[in-house]
Amino acid sequence: EKEYIRMHHDRHHQHQAQEEKEKKQCSSTLVKHIKAPAPLVWSLVRRFDEPQKYKPFVSRCTVQPQGQGDLAVGSLRQVNVKSGLPATTSTERLEQLDDHQRILGVTIVGGDHRLNNYSSLITVHPEVIEGRPGTMVIESFVVDVPDGNTVDETCYFVEALIRCNLSSLATVSERMAVQDCDDLVNQ
């Protein structure tokens, strides 16, 4: 009997066990306040084809031609990351691009990294900081916890990367905002 169960149901058991493991996910939300106007910040965030404009780990990005404009939902980008990271490439899909509400949704669909079923949403909101036009950026993600890692380790790793991206987004946006002011004074 045991032998039959093992023979015929073991695969099912393994499958079930694996499914439970696959359900182990981690998710989190990060917020960044930036001293630059929302349209300027959004102009950087919305460029699905040019994440290297602010993401410090991206060395190269190419988008497969889609016909009418490169920023259509379903577009794929091939991202190469700088050396020193536990990965070299990532294939990412544009899931949502809403210029009115300023929402960008991206999922990771391939690559040589360990972030399976990664999905992210980034939203850009105008706010007033010290009496000037500023921006609140909110980024959230959900991802599978890889075998051999804990939920905390996975969250910590992804949060650290996103914090770097958001810090860099702030630096680049704030520099561009100052440049816009200088141009206004010097024209």
Binding site for ligand A8S (CB under 6 A): 55, 57, 81, 85-87, 90, 108, 111, 113, 115, 120, 158, 161-162, 165
* Total Cβ atoms within 10 A of residue 187: 5
Query: Which one, 145 or 162, has the nearer CB to ligand A8S?
Result: 162
Query: Which one, 85 or 178, has the nearer CB to ligand A8S?
Result: 85
The CB-of-22 to ligand A8S minimum distance in angstroms stands at: 18
Query: Which one, 16 or 29, has the nearer CB to ligand A8S?
Result: 29
Could you tell me which residues are beta bridge partners of residue 80? 60, 89
Coil, helix or strand at residue 87? coil
Instruction: Identify whether the C-beta of residue 140 lies closer than 8 Å to the C-beta of residue 120.
Output: yes
CA 13 to chain centre: 34
Phi (first) and psi of residue 173, to 5 degrees: -65, -45
Instruction: Identify whether the C-beta of residue 58 lies closer than 8 Å to the C-beta of residue 80.
Output: yes
The CB-of-172 to ligand A8S minimum distance in angstroms stands at: 15
The CB-of-161 to ligand A8S minimum distance in angstroms stands at: 4
The CB-of-140 to ligand A8S minimum distance in angstroms stands at: 11
Query: Which one, 85 or 129, has the nearer CB to ligand A8S?
Result: 85
- Residue bearing tokens 């704030």: 174
